[in-house]
Structures are given as structure tokens and as C-alpha cells.
Amino acid sequence: MRLSTLWFRILAATFVALALSAGRPALSRAGELSEESTQAAVAALGASLEVERDLLKTQQELYRQAAADRDATTRRLQQLFVDLDAMVQGTAPATAEAMAAKEKEIGETETRRLAALQKCREVLGRLQEVQERAAGLEKKLTSLKEGLPKGRESLTGKWNVTYLPSTNKGVFVLRQTGTIVQGQYLLDGGWKGSLQGTFIDGKIYLQRIDSKLGRSSELEGFIGPDGSSIRGTWRNYNLTDGGTASGSWTASRQED
């Protein structure tokens, strides 16, 4: 995610939260809020939670990079020690210059490894902080959503869907039974097939099974607080056609 977009979401979430707090009860007193106020509170917390999830992905990627540097320098250091041992124990004595150069390279590699280890520790600390904040927001969201009509989170119905970045459009027809979701879809270009997945705590997971391609892709997303919109990401299983591997998607409920 671009930094400007992330900061826009942070500012937007902060603005909504401040607007909600003015002259209204605390969010923890969900039972005293009107339905409209509860929906607004859920939207504010949902925006904050989305920011935290984006931050979590950023920290996870930073940790992955630092861990890769840590592992690479560890392997390099092991090889350098093997080389040094061979120079010391070889039948032909190594020159002083060669020994000094090898020891210098070992020292530089050790320094890089220590820096990578420190980076891992720093990122891990930030990552855990983000996880704790996200867990706290999820707990508050769950508490607030308990005061909303359960029907608002039913996926049953027709949804107008847009895939990004291709802007390909279509319709999902979904049926929800408990936490199980099934349905059919029709997309631009004549692509059609079935959908199956789950819907738990506002999060939807679907597998798209195309009539021609078979198991085609998977979609994840979160329903909006009003129960009429979905935003999420998708990942393509079939990469043989040179198409996009992943992207985002949105859906809006068709009114009866």
C-alpha cells in the first residue's frame, strides 16, 4: 500500500472517531447507543482495524526481509569459516595477505548478521504491538456488532461485483446457511461457475470454481457495517493464461 493512502485511511478513521466521540456516550457502552450510532462506531473502528491490518502486512514484509538477510549472512559466515579452516589446515600455507583478507570479510559479515538480527528484534516488537492493537479493535467491534440486527450480516442475495485492477464486472448470487456460503456467479466475458466458502465474524472467504477452468481463484473480504457492501482481495490459481495473479474486489448488494 502506498504511504499516502495509508495516512489517508488513518486520518479518515481518526476524523470519524472524533466526530463520534463529540457529545456521545463512550463506545464501550454499546447498549446505550442508537442503532445509527452503533453503525457509525462500527465503521470508525472498522477503518482503524483496516489501517492496523495494513500496518501488520508492512511489518510482516519488513520482518521477512530482515530474516532473509539474517539467514543469508549466517550461511555466508559458515562458508567463510570453512574457507578459513581450509586455509589454516591446508598443505600449502596461505599468505598473510590472504588470511587478513579472509578475516576482514568474516568480520564484515558478522557485523551485517548482527545488524540483521537487531532489525528482526525491532520489527518483531513493532509487529507484536500492531497485533495487540488489532486484537483490541476486533474485540470492540465484536462487542458493538452484538447490538446490531443479525440480518445485517447475511450474505444471502445478489451482489454486483467489480474486480480490480481489471474492472471486470459481474454478479454473485449467494446463499448463506449458518456460516456456510454457496452460490453462483456470472462475469463479463461469459465466465460463470459456482462459489463456496464461509462467513464468520464479518469475514467472507470464497472459492471460485469456474465451469471451464475448474478451481479458479479464492476471494477474501469484509462486509460493511450496513451489510450492503463488501471489500476484499482475490488470488488467482490459474496463471497459465498470463492473467493478473491477484488484486482487490468490491461488491454492492442489489436491492430487492
> Using one digit for the tens of pLDDT, what is the confidence trace for 131-183?
999 999 888 888 887 776 554 457 899 999 999 888 889 999 999 988 899 99
pLDDT at 9 over 70: no
112-144 core/surface letters (b: 16 or more CB in 10 A; e: else): bbeebbebbeebeeebeebeebbeebbebbeeb
Mean pLDDT value across residues 74-94? 89
Position 113 scores a pLDDT of 95
Mean pLDDT value across residues 53-75? 93
Handedness of CA 230, 236, 242, 244 (dihedral sign): positive
Cα 110 off chain centre by: 34
Residue closest to 1 by CA, chosen among 41, 60, 44: 60
pTM of the complete model: 0.50
Find cell 451489510 and name the residue.
Answer: 227
Q: For residue 117, what are the CA distances in angstroms to 67, 157, 209, 210?
A: 8, 51, 43, 46
CA Rg, the chain, in Å? 26
Domains of the chain: 3-145 (1.10.287), 151-253 (2.40.128.120)
Residue closest to 43 by CA, chosen among 151, 141, 150, 147: 141
d(CA 136, CA 131): 9
Mean pLDDT value across residues 181-196? 93
Residue closest to 249 by CA, chosen among 131, 169, 182: 169
Mean pLDDT value across residues 226-240? 82
Range from 114-118, 174-178, 188-192 that averages highest in pLDDT: 114-118
Of the ranges 36-45, 130-139, 178-187, which one carries the lowest mean pLDDT score? 36-45
- Please answer whether residues 251 and 161 qualify as being in contact, where contact means their C-beta atoms are separated by less than 8 angstroms: yes
